[in-house]
Amino acid sequence: MTPTSDLITTITAHIQSAPQQQITFASYMDLVLYHPSYGYYTTKASVLGPEGDFITSPHLGHDFGELLAVQFADMWCSLDQPTPFHLVEIGAGQGLIAGDVLAHLQQNHPDCYTALRYIIIEKSPILRTLQQKLLTHEKVSWSTLENLPPITGCLFSNELIDAFPVHVIQKHDNQLREVYVTVEDNTLHETLGPLSSNRLLEYFKLIGIDLLTDAYPDSYRTEVNLAALDWLDTVANKIDRGFLLTIDYGHTAQRYYSPARHQGTLKCYYQHRHHDDPYVNIGQQDLTTHVDFTALERYGVKVGLAPLGFTQQGLLLMALGLGERIATLTQTITPGPDSFNQLIQRRQVLHQLMDMSPIGLGTFGVLIQSKRLTDKPTLKGLTIPPLG
């Protein structure tokens, strides 16, 4: 049997042994992405990068990680230069950000580097092995979130929360219903049923959205990322003093749950193409949704995280020195036959990181939360005010 048919057999068995022979979409998504033997992230070493299904900011070069390093050095100073200073990266993919952050701190912020301990929390065993091969660095170690002691420093992630399993809900006959996955004639189907948890209703109260108003059409379909709230609860407990930095594609709740976005944000990525069918290429394609930053911010307050600022990746990176990198480009490229091409390529990469078009990396949300700080610091990355 192929890994895909093994996974379909496993999903079918889960469905058949579940009450009413159906599982929530969140359980389905958890199985296809993270089943310990056949899940997409568990088995595919090449999910990311030009050879995989999608690329992320660190694949464009060293700039993203290096500019984040500037932010981390600034955080270290605002925490009064503690030793040890922990950077905890959650969901590190191929370990590219870690390599760039460490190299930049070592070179440019040696005191911060001396105090640094870099810990990676990675759910995928195959990606963890890859990271361990690439990052043979004395400063780096791996842990699980459960085993992580409370730290002083910063926990951070790039494109992590969009990979969490989500509940899919739909407005039907003026009620909120949940999408379940079931099996008929050996094929996976969707069916609507009652909400699997009251937490789904609490979620909408938290973010101040009421899908039952007339503004939302019947059949309005969207997602709820309860796993993100559970995760926030856990990570908040892992920060003794410091910051949580979250970078991902997403919106405020008002924009996420806009009546016009009537099919939600769920997307599937397979070999750099995206589409809307989560029931094909099972275990071979990524499933992902946008992040609701309002939920992270408001739930964060409940679990002890103070909101420090919400901005966009383009503005964060500009505040951290991306503009200077663009301005000095012509001076840093050495003259030679290929230099013009190199210059154009570098310029394109730097512009891509701050591309503010609707699907550009520059529009990614950046949320910084803090815990147990006596004063509210003005972080370098938050010094350019968000666009109105």
Q: Using CA atoms, how far apart are residues 41 and 51, in angstroms rounded to an integer? A: 15
What are the backbone dihedrals phi and psi of residue 118, each rounded to the nearest 5 degrees, phi first?
Answer: -110, 120
- Strand ordering across the sheet containing 286-288: 273-275, 267-270, 286-288
Give Rg (Cα) of the chain.
Answer: 22
**Is 56 an interacting residue with respect to ligand SAM (CB under 6 A)?**
yes
Q: Which is nearer to ligand SAM, 195 or 227 (CB)?
A: 227
- Cis before 84 (ω within 30): yes
Question: Does residue 163 touch ligand SAM according to CB under 6 A?
Answer: yes
CB of 1 to ligand SAM, least distance (A): 24
Which one of 117-125, 184-192, 194-202, 376-384 is the stretch in contact with ligand SAM (CB under 6 A)?
117-125
Out of 122, 223, 248, 292, the residue judged to bind ligand SAM by CB under 6 A = 122
CA distance to 111, 170, 224, 306, 320, per residue, from 164 (Å): 36, 19, 10, 23, 29
The SS3 call for residue 308 is strand
Least CB distance from residue 244 to ligand SAM, whole Å?
Answer: 14
Shortest separation between residue 346's beta carbon and ligand SAM, angstroms: 20
Single out the residue of 88, 160, 169, 333 in contact with ligand SAM (rule: CB under 6 A): 160
**Residue 129 identity (one-letter amino acid):** T
Closest CA to 352 of 368, 363, 341, 343: 363
Q: Give the relative orientation of helices 199-207 and 226-237 as an angle to the nearest 10 degrees.
A: 80
Instruction: Figure out which of the listed residues 24, 71, 158, 313 binds ligand SAM, where binding follows CB under 6 A.
Output: 158
What is the closest distance, in whole angstroms, from the C-beta atom of residue 156 to ligand SAM in the complex? Answer: 9
Question: At closest approach, how far in Å is the CB of 93 from ligand SAM?
Answer: 3
* Among residues 159, 178, 248, 297, the one that binds ligand SAM under rule CB under 6 A: 159
What is the nearest approach in angstroms of ligand SAM to the Cβ of residue 131?
9
Residue given tokens 């992630």 in the structure block: 157
91 touching ligand SAM, by CB under 6 A: yes
The contact set with ligand SAM (CB under 6 A) reads: 41, 48, 56, 58, 90-93, 121-124, 127, 158-160, 163
